[in-house]
Amino acid sequence: MLNKTQFSADFYENLPYKPYCSDDLGHGIIIRPKRTAIQKQYIQHNPPCLITSLVFDIDRSDAYFAWSDANLPTPTWIAKNPKNCHAHIGYMLAMPVCTTHRARQNVIEYLAKIEQAYSLALGADRGYSGLITKNPCHTAWENHIFDVDPYELNYLADFVELQELKTDLKEVSGLGRNCMMFDNVRFWAYEAIRAFISGSYDVWHREVLNVAINANGAFIQPLPYSEVKATAKSIARWVWRNTNSAEFQSRFSVMQTTRANIGVQKANPSKGGKARSQQYSDIRQEALKLHIMGKSIKEITEILNVHRNSVSKWIKNP
């Protein structure tokens, strides 16, 4: 079981080698070795592309009791501002989760759904980027360390009802951004690789990175560049190596079939208003994904065979 001394040691061990940190967020954040950063009031708690703890920002005077009111498990720590009682609530994970998709995609999505459900249950700030936290080892805060083991994902999931990840660009946050960016870029890459495979890998990698940067720029709270770069590298490598594999051909075939089905639904009005409403929603979502990937309104119009006014309206009001 964790005690305060063990927690401090584990928290320090999990820090990046050179975390972002600050004593005053109004003056920005800086990068320092972790032996220096641990002395700052705010600190980056997760290494790049790795989740060791889930942290939630509660901007209410009753923040300390938010987990209890929501019937969630006891946090690993709470760092509370003694002036306004706002707090960061942290859950340390038993096994870190890689966010560069070297791990299985379903594990990342599973953690993202847990994070989303806890954020909603706690009433946490959905705009919180998750990059830095109130340092639970700093005396500026009223810190509470609880005598609990680091948590397994399945245990955390037992306390909430998991839902599909948000896709509205105004709502998607936390790890949901990783999943959304990864899906958008990889689906683009499955088809785009055909125009690059006869050239050099470096050109292909730069193109994937540019698409990933465009996708990340659509979020209200963009991901750190290190995560965008790592995800783009992961996608570029996998697609480049597996273009001619059976698995790749299967995924590409599924994507093409889905696109064809959308076209059939558009041409077939006989399935009633509910079906037409669903296919309208599918086309709208497809248009938003293409927009995130950097496609122009004209390009989206040609790909989906819809009027440019519709595309323009969808993009302005996602």
Residue scoring higher pLDDT (273 or 232):
232
Q: Structural domain boundaries of the chain?
A: 4-157, 175-316
128-147 tens-digit pLDDT: 878 899 999 999 999 999 99
- At 246 the pLDDT is 45
The whole model's pTM is what? 0.68
Give ∠ CA 176-261-297 in degrees, rounded to 5: 60
List Cβ<8 Å contacts ≥24 apart for 34-42: 38/12, 38/135, 38/137, 39/138, 40/135, 40/138, 41/134, 41/135, 41/138, 41/140, 41/141, 42/132, 42/133, 42/134, 42/135
Q: Does residue 273 carry a pLDDT above 60?
A: no
155-197 tens-digit pLDDT: 999 999 998 887 666 667 777 788 888 888 888 888 888 888 8
Residue scoring higher pLDDT (283 or 113):
113
Which of 15, 13, 52 lies closest to 37, judged by CA? Answer: 15
Return d(Cα 158, Cα 174) in angstroms, integer: 20
pLDDT average, residue stretch 108-113: 88
Looking at the chain, the whole-number percentage of residues with pLDDT higher than 90 is: 42
Question: What class is the 175-316 domain?
Answer: mainly alpha
Length of the chain: 318
Which of 105, 134, 100, 130 lies closest to 21, judged by CA? Answer: 134
254-264 tens-digit pLDDT: 455 555 555 55
**Range list of H helices, the chain:** 4-14, 34-37, 66-69, 105-122, 153-157, 175-192, 201-217, 225-242, 246-267, 272-292, 297-304, 308-316
- At 186 the pLDDT is 86
Q: Does residue 148 carry a pLDDT above 80?
A: yes
Return d(Cα 174, Cα 123) in angstroms, integer: 14
Q: Does residue 123 carry a pLDDT above 90?
A: yes
